[in-house]
Amino acid sequence: MALKAETHPIATSNDVVRVRQIVRAATIQLKFSLVEQTKFVTATSELARNTLEHGGGGWMTLEMVKNGLREGIKLTFRDNGPGIADIELALSEGYTSAGGMGLGLSGSKRLVNEFEITSELGQGTTVIVTRWK
């Protein structure tokens, strides 16, 4: 169940900093521990940068969600970029297409509770992550 949803553009590297701050504020609101906050904000940073660099920019939607008594934060990163041909490969450790260290997708997957990725060539990529309190 989504309690609240808001969408923010990711078009410049300043937007990556801004969505990090927005997600940080949401984790504080839900009283995440400092380690939980840091993990989720770091995952946000990785995914927002992917949206910017591989997707050519896009959007992040933040939802405060509730499952029974559990509260959490769900983030959807969406772009209209070239898409990912082989998701399995993109998720494997050390895979990189942008000359980085290949930790973006596989690393951020470890920093969240739920991780879902869909991609279509020529259409874009959507990554949905959730971290529960």
Partner 1 sequence: MDRIPILKFGDCLLITIQVDMHDQLALTLQEDLTAQIAKHASRGVLIDISSLEIVDSFIGRMLANIAAMSRILDAQTVLTGMQPAVAITLVELGMSLPGIKTALNVERGMDLLQEFIYREPESEDLHGSEG
Widest pairwise Cα distance in the chain: 42
**Which CB atom, from 66 or from 107, has the smaller least distance to partner 1?**
107
CB of 78 to partner 1, least distance (A): 20
Strand 70-79 relative to strand 114-120, pairing: unpaired
* 3-class DSSP assignment, residue 127: strand
Distance between CA 49 and CA 70 in Å, rounded? 29
Distance between CA 131 and CA 124 in Å, rounded? 24
Contact residues toward partner 1 (CB under 8 A) are 13-14, 16-17, 20-21, 24, 34-35, 37-39, 41-42, 45-46, 49, 93, 100-101, 103-104, 106-108, 110-111
CB of 104 to partner 1, least distance (A): 6
CB of 39 to partner 1, least distance (A): 5
**Which CB atom, from 1 or from 88, has the smaller least distance to partner 1?**
88
